[in-house]
Each structure stands twice: as structure tokens, then as C-alpha cells.
Amino acid sequence: MTLQEFERSISVTFKNKALLEQAFIHRSFINENPRSGLEHNERLEFLGDAVLELVVTEFLYETYPHHNEGDLTAYRSALVNAVTLGKVADDLGFNDLMKLSKGEAKDVSRARSSILADAYEAFVGALYLDQGYKEAKVFISKTVLIKTEDIVKQGLYKDAKSFVQEKAQEVRSVTPAYRVLGEEGPDHDKRFRVGIYFGEELISEGVGKSKQEAETEAARAALIKMQWME
């Protein structure tokens, strides 16, 4: 899929095509192609993260007037975590649009899901700069907010690590263990890859900017894989 085809698929036409392109440029591509004259998407990701959080928070505040702050925070976390955003980005075809290093392009592990999630935020940032808050909100509503009802009904907002431990003990009579499988990136932008194990069986993996975040993502992935969502 080309960028033009992507624009048609989401019914948005960018005024600044360079912004659209930048949203899909991973740091690894720039490191491998330092003379490309292009910029990676991390500044856009920083902006898009803030826009996404505001849109989601505003929506939840208005949609669930009788739910407390703790519940709303849990709902928001479930909507904007790397598993959810990575799946949304994958469904939108972001994989075809990413500019990655040769090594990253070959990686189909859960690290790719994290890259796609970051790209989703970067795209939101680019869309906000190019089209404004209203269009960014429309896009987020169509791609992320539509998942809210299922997340609330199925209990996906619950603390993933506690939930998966409860289910693993109930169904498998085992307490999950987490192991760091790898670390990637420079010190200022480290990514941890963590596996969740039932005994010696690797159930799923998660990637995050901290070990805690990676463990949480691994737990969420395990809940989905084991079909333990309520």
C-alpha cells in the first residue's frame, strides 16, 4: 500500500506530504541512512501521544459520567496501550508504510507491535499538525474509541498482571513468571522484551520502555492468547 492509497483508505488528504511520510519513519531507518535528509517520527509520536490521551480522556469523561477516576484511568490505559494501538495500526496497513532498517524489517516479534503503536501516535501527531484537532479526533474515534464498549464489557481494562495470575492459578495451577528476553536501543530510548512463562512454557511476549511496562504488555498478550478475557 502506498501513502496515497492509505490516504484514500482513511478519507484524509494531507496538505503537507512530508509530515505524512515522517510519521512512518523509524529511528533505525535514519541510523542506517544518515544522508537521507529525512527525520524519524519520535517528535510526532511525542505530540500524538498527548493528542490521543486528550481525545480518549474527553470521550471517557463524557461517556461514563457515573464512573470514578480509577475506572476511567483503567479504561484509558486499555485503549492506548501498545497491544491495542499496535493491532489498530496493523489493521490499518501501517506495516506496509513503515521505513525501517533492514534488521527491524525482518523482525516480526512483538517488538514490531510496539513500533506500530508508536507509529500510530506519530500519525496522530502529524494529522493534528496538518488538519487540526477536529480531524485527529475523528480519526481516533473511528479507529480506537470504537473499541471502548468491548474493552469495558470484556474486562480488558483490569490490571493485566493480576488478572493473568488469577486465571493461571485457577486454570493451570501455576503462578506466571516473567523473564527479560532482550534489550534494544540506546540508553535514552531503551526497549525491553519480556516473556511470560507458565512453568517452562513461554506463553507470550511484551515490549515496553521499562521492564514493568513490558511485563504488563506480555500479560495482556497472554490474556488474549489464552482467551481468558471476560
The residues annotated as belonging to the active site are 49, 121
- Please check whether residue 103 is in contact with residue 75, taking contact to mean a CB–CB distance below 8 angstroms: no
The set of cell numbers assigned to 118 is 508508536
Non-local (6+) Cβ contacts of 41 within 8 A are: 22, 23, 24, 25, 26, 118, 119, 122
Instruction: Tell me the longest C-alpha to C-alpha distance in the chain.
Output: 56
Among residues 115, 132, 114, 145, the alpha carbon closest in space to that of 47 is found at 132
62 — phi, psi (to 5°)?
A: -80, -35
Q: How many CA atoms lie within 13 A of 194 on its CB side?
A: 26
- Category of 123 on φ-ψ map: left (φ > 0), alpha (ψ -120 to 50) or beta: alpha
CA distances, 110 to each of 20, 41, 197, 198, 205 (Å): 24, 19, 15, 18, 6
Q: Report how far residue 112's alpha carbon sits from residue 130's, in angstroms, rounded to the nearest whole number.
A: 26
Q: Give residue 26's Cα distance to chain centre.
A: 15
Do strands 177-184 and 201-208 pair parallel, antiparallel, or not at all (unpaired)?
A: unpaired
